[in-house]
């Protein structure tokens, strides 16, 4: 799966600009799904039909990544930007971004306003594409860029930008490839706009109206020096979400996930996340409600250009999804 993760994480695809990554995922699922379509807002849905006696299950991983959108080109050709999704100022200075047209930029900061000991606000940063002036600037207002960093294989651990959430996209693709026809109709949904508005998730869930849904996303860990307490660690297995700052996972779905993990003798962790949420929050509210849980991949340095996951956790996530799908779903 490492090649697939490398391929997916290096693709351009900030929220609202998912066309490239959608095409690549479409090519990866072709031949494995019974039906592939793109819905109204641009989410990609790959359906693998079941034998007919099971449930309708929706798995959701988001295709979009965080990034920047140009808001203004100043007279000297520097680009001011708005954040796409949650950007941490501490991760920006000296970072490289790449635009849809291939232009590379460096993120700089207003020196005059920098206060020692304080994190500068986002509006004190800018992107420098090396332009001489406004007229010759190769990007314009509205252009969007994502971080630019290569994938690194550290052996047991993998590092890339956009593990959030391309590693989950890879997990979904791999699950689809390995899934033998089961009782359930399984909708593998690659959603758009999660990092900004969760617009893709809720609308996709509305259209499909599944009996159960699982969002697959990354989650924080508590295993780095002097980190805030959190009982999730890299290598501890896929994390089964109990609650995050946006929702409490459906008790029955959570318990099903735990049961299947224990039956399959897979390592797993229980996740309580203090800050952050996922597509699951939007999905569960649709229509009369959808029992929704979340399978989380432990990840260090989320929303930085270098997100790190454990490869064993990734493989075990695929195994856990297969374990859930290959048996009955009782909530």
Partner 1 sequence: MTTADGGQRSAIGAREVLLILQELSEAIGISGNEDAVRKIIADAVRDHVDELRTDTIGNLFAVKKARAAQGAKRAFKVMLAAHMDEVGLMVTGHDGNGGLRFRPVGGIDDRVLLGKVLLVGPDKVPGVIGVKPVHLLKGDEGKQVTKMDDMRIDIGALSKEEAEGLIKLGQVAAFSTRYNKVGRTATGKAFDDRAGCAVLVELLKGARFPFDLHAVFTVQEEVGLRGARVAASAVEPDCAFVLEGTICDDLPKDKDVSPTTELGKGPAISLMDRSAFADRRLVDHLIATAEKLGIPYQFKQPGIGGTDAGAITRSKAGVPTAPVSVPCRYIHSPVSRLSLDDFDNTVRLMRESLSRLTPDVLKRS
Partner 2 sequence: MDLSALLKKLSEAHGISAYEAPVREIVREEFAKHSHEVRVTKMGSVVGVRHGSGVAPRRKVMLSAHMDEIGLMVTGIEKGFLRITKVAGSDARVMLGQEVVVHGQRELPGVVGSRPPHVLPPDERDRVLLFDQLFVDVGLPETQVKRLVRVGDLISIRRAAFELKGGLFCGKALDDRASVAAVAICLETLAASQHKWDVLGVASVQEETTFLGAATSAHGLQPDVAIAIDVTFGEQNGVSDAHTVGMGKGPAIGVGPNFHPELVKALVDTASKLEMPYQIEPTPGASGTDAWPIQVAREGIPTALLSIPLRYMHTPVETVSLRDIERTGKLMAAFIAHLDDEFVKTLTFVLDG
- Least separation in angstroms between CB 81 and partner 1: 8
Residue list 272-331, contact with partner 2 (CB under 8 A):
272, 274, 281, 284-285, 287-289, 291
Burial of 291 (0-12, 13-18, 19+ CB in 10 A): buried
* Residue from the set 41, 109, 183, 331 that interacts with partner 1 by CB under 8 A: 41
Task: Indicate the residue among 174 and 195 with the shorter CB distance to partner 1.
Answer: 195
Q: Contact between 202 and partner 1 (CB under 8 A)?
A: yes
Complex with partner 2: residue 54 or 252, whichever CB lies closer: 252
Which residue in the set 100, 207, 267, 276 belongs to the binding site for partner 1 (CB under 8 A)? Answer: 207
CA distances from 165 to 63, 81, 94, 171 (A): 7, 23, 23, 10
Of the candidates 281, 282, 277, 280, the one whose C-alpha atom is nearest the C-alpha of residue 202 is 282
Beta strands in 92-225 (DSSP E): 96-99, 104-109, 125-128, 144-147, 152-153, 157-160, 185-191, 212-219
219 contacts partner 2 (rule: CB under 8 A) = no
Nearest by Cα to 317 from 240, 204, 210, 244: 240
Answer whether 22's CB lies under 8 Å from 200's CB: no
Specify whether 194 is catalytic.
yes
Structure-token pair, residue 307: 């997100």
Task: Kindly state the DSSP code that residue 47 receives in the 8-state scheme.
Answer: E
Residue whose CB is less far from partner 2, 145 or 273 = 273
Q: Please list, in sequence order, all residues whose beta carbon lies within 8 angstroms of the beta carbon of residue 169, skipping any fewer than 6 positions away.
A: 8, 21, 25, 61, 62, 63, 190
Q: Which positions from 237 through 296 interact with partner 1, judged by CB under 8 A?
A: none
- Which of 44, 64, 119, 117 has the alpha carbon at shortest distance from 278? 64
61-98: b (≥16 Cβ within 10 Å) or e? bbbbbbbbbbeebeeebbbbbebbbebebebbeebebb
Do the Cβ atoms of 239 and 297 come closer than 8 Å? yes
- Applying CB under 8 A, the span of 66-74, 93-101, 216-224, 256-264 interacting with partner 1 comes to 66-74
Total binding residues for partner 1 by CB under 8 A?
30
Task: Determine which residue in the list 16, 50, 293, 305 makes contact with partner 1, applying CB under 8 A.
Answer: 16
Asked if 191 touches partner 1 (CB under 8 A), the answer is: no
Task: Name which of 5 and 44 has its Cβ closer to partner 1.
Answer: 44
What is the pattern of x (binds partner 2, CB under 8 A) and - over residues 5-44?
----------------------------------------
Binding residue count for partner 2, defined by CB under 8 A: 25
Q: Tell me: does residue 93 bind partner 2 (CB under 8 A).
A: no
- Residue position matching structure tokens 């952050």: 276
Report, as residue numbers or ranges, the catalytic residues.
Answer: 194
- Residues in touch with partner 1 (CB under 8 A): 15-16, 38-41, 69-72, 74-76, 80, 82-84, 123, 141-142, 193, 196-197, 199-200, 202-204, 206-207
- Residues in touch with partner 2 (CB under 8 A): 228-231, 242-243, 246-251, 254, 269-272, 274, 281, 284-285, 287-289, 291
């Amino acid at each position: 799966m490492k090649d697939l993760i490398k391929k997916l994480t290096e693709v351009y695809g900030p929220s609202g600009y998912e066309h490239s990554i959608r095409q690549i995922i479409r090519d990866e699922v072709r031949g494995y799904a019974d039906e592939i379509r793109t819905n109204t807002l641009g989410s990609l849905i790959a359906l693998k039909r079941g034998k007919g006696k099971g449930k309708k299950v929706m798995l959701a991983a988001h295709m979009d990544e965080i990034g920047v959108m140009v808001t203004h080109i100043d007279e000297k050709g520097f680009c001011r930007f708005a954040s796409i999704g949650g950007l941490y100022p501490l991760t920006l200075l000296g970072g490289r971004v790449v635009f849809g047209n291939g232009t590379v930029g460096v993120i700089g900061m207003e020196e005059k306003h920098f206060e020692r000991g304080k994190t500068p606000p986002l509006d004190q940063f800018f992107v420098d594409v090396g332009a001489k002036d406004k007229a010759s600037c190769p990007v314009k207002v509205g252009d969007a860029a994502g971080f630019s960093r290569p994938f690194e294989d550290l052996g047991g651990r993998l590092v890339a930008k956009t593990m959030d959430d391309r590693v989950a996209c890879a997990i979904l693709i791999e699950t689809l490839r390995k899934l033998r026809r089961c009782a359930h109709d399984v909708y593998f949904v690659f959603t758009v706009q999660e990092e900004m508005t969760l617009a893709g998730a809720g609308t996709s869930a509305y259209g499909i109206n599944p009996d159960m849904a699982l969002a697959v996303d990354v989650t924080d860990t508590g295993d780095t020096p002097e980190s805030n307490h959190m009982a999730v660690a890299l290598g501890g297995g896929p994390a089964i979400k109990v609650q995050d700052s946006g929702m409490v996972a459906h008790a029955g779905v959570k318990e099903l996930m735990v049961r299947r993990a224990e039956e399959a003798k897979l390592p797993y962790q229980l996740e309580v996340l203090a800050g952050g949420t996922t597509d699951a929050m939007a999905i569960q509210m649709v229509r009369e409600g959808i029992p929704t849980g979340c399978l989380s991949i432990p990840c260090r340095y989320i929303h930085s250009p270098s997100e790190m996951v454990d490869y064993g956790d990734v493989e075990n996530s695929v195994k856990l999804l297969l374990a859930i799908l290959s048996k009955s779903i009782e909530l």
